[in-house]
A and B are shown apart, each in its own frame.
Chain A
């Protein structure tokens, strides 16, 4: 019942692509005017670029680029910064504090009076990324170098695939699929193969143990993850994220001025919510379940031999998977991007957002992120046999119970 800030990402990107093509065509024709024999082919190229089908194809490219920049350059860096600041505060220290005034570049090195180490430290992750880019990419002498080089690309590519179908609001998405939730789960399930290949191909005992642990663990937790989605389908009747969120917008209960929305969390799906929460933490390999890369016993597990930006990719994309997991959790159980009614102003029938849907969605994603970070820096790691016991003996029966309960409620209420 609130309005999105970006009503249609495709429309916005179409206008943006139009501007880019207009500037390129202007440059092409200017070159053609300066060098007259080149004018006819350049003019034909400009006309071809501005034709409708080519413009649509270019718009799709720009759209995926915008989504990658939005997910990686904005949200990934912010989530990493939030984690580093928050766990530092949990450990009673300040964490990263380098300010932008410590940069050895022109506008920043002028101010000698500003302290350089009392800032927010937001750009520390960018600096770490630059450092990793400059490092040498080492391949161990006995490694299977083709597989060793393929695995980080596989992990990074399948993680980015999630964001093709993950909507950030009713307007900010790349593709709206009828089976969007299933697509996101399928993209989630492709990464374990990459992790296994990375663990095996380095030809190192630690990485192999980490990779095998990760395969055993992710297999165990993927089954309850999909089973509770089946339970959810009994309630929603759809796998389309937009439909699932729209169903959760209606009021469940009115207590005076307070209206409680009908989130899937309230009601029979609460069992499913608990199972999904535990399983998605395991899928992200965060600390209670981070056995594949247990740094105390396995020296970072399957990432031991990766170096340079390959390590940066697989390490940084864990936060991207965390954002995707939190987004999936909030779409399925916590009302997605729906906000209170009073945050939308209606001019006639045109909704003007005061607090747009994207803000509500990101509020949920970051609160869930804070919860995951809090959890992972407060409790110790679970042993590998205990992890598999939790997965196979607790979560799978619970998720079957969730299916039975959801089906029963569906039969009773009709």
Chain B
């Protein structure tokens, strides 16, 4: 327990999470899921800033990107397609 470098452990955990979230972001079909994974990716990057003792950059990262992601999402809904999701089909169970 004593010899473990906890900062390295935290860095590895955050990096793995970040890579997983980024893969989910580029592979998800639904727009809002992608926006959600984008927010998760950016917040984990903020966590890595926090590991570098850059609290101010971490907080600005959260303030700016958590504010920007919903905006992106609004533009995505307004500009890309008409239907918000798959409509329930008229024949058979949904």
Give the B-binding residues of A (Cβ under 8 A).
Answer: 141-142, 144, 146-147, 150, 177-179, 182-183, 185-186, 189-190, 192-193, 196-197, 200-201, 203, 208, 212, 215-216, 218-219, 222, 226
Is A215 within 8 A of B84, CB to CB? Answer: no
Kindly state the separation between the CA atoms of A141 and B93 in the bound complex, as whole angstroms.
10
Kindly state the separation between the CA atoms of A212 and B71 in the bound complex, as whole angstroms.
9
Q: Please pick, from A144, A183, A192, A201, the residue contacting B70 in the complex, using a CB distance under 8 A.
A: A192
A-side contacts of B88, CB under 8 Å:
141-142
**B side interface size, CB within 8 A:** 26
B-side contacts of A183, CB under 8 Å:
59
In terms of DSSP, what is the predominant structure of the interface of chain B?
helix
Q: How would residues 29 to 40 of chain B score, 1 for a CB under 8 Å from any chain A CB and 0 otherwise?
A: 010110110010
Name the residue on B nearest A203 (C-beta): B85
Q: Please pick, from B30, B33, B69, the residue contacting A193 in the complex, using a CB distance under 8 A.
A: B69
Q: How would residues 52 to 91 of chain B score, 1 for a CB under 8 Å from any chain A CB and 0 otherwise?
A: 0001100110110011011101100100000011111000
B-side contacts of A193, CB under 8 Å:
35-36, 39, 66, 69-70
Kindly state the separation between the CA atoms of A212 and B74 in the bound complex, as whole angstroms.
7
The answer to whether A197 and B62 touch (CB under 8 A), given A179-B55, A192-B70, A212-B74, is no
Answer whether residue B94 sits at the interface, using C-beta atoms and an 8 A cutoff.
Answer: yes
Is A179 within 8 A of B71, CB to CB? Answer: no
B-side contacts of A190, CB under 8 Å:
62, 66
Q: Please pick, from A147, A178, A215, the residue contacting B55 in the complex, using a CB distance under 8 A.
A: A178
Name the residue on A nearest B33 (C-beta): A147
Kindly state the separation between the CA atoms of A201 and B63 in the bound complex, as whole angstroms.
24
Is A197 within 8 A of B36, CB to CB? Answer: yes
Q: Please pick, from A142, A147, A182, A208, the residue contacting B86 in the complex, using a CB distance under 8 A.
A: A142
Kindly state the separation between the CA atoms of A147 and B31 in the bound complex, as whole angstroms.
12
Kindly state the separation between the CA atoms of A182 and B63 in the bound complex, as whole angstroms.
9
Name the residue on B nearest A204 (C-beta): B84
The answer to whether A226 and B63 touch (CB under 8 A), given A215-B73, A216-B74, is yes
Is B67 within 8 A of A189, CB to CB? Answer: yes
B-side contacts of A222, CB under 8 Å:
67
Kindly state the separation between the CA atoms of A196 and B85 in the bound complex, as whole angstroms.
14
Is B85 within 8 A of A142, CB to CB? Answer: yes
Is B59 within 8 A of A196, CB to CB? Answer: no
Task: List 18 additional contacts besides A141-B88, A189-B66, A196-B32; criterion CB under 8 Å.
Answer: A147-B33, A182-B59, A182-B60, A182-B63, A186-B59, A189-B63, A189-B67, A193-B35, A193-B66, A196-B73, A201-B32, A208-B84, A215-B73, A215-B74, A218-B70, A219-B67, A219-B70, A226-B63
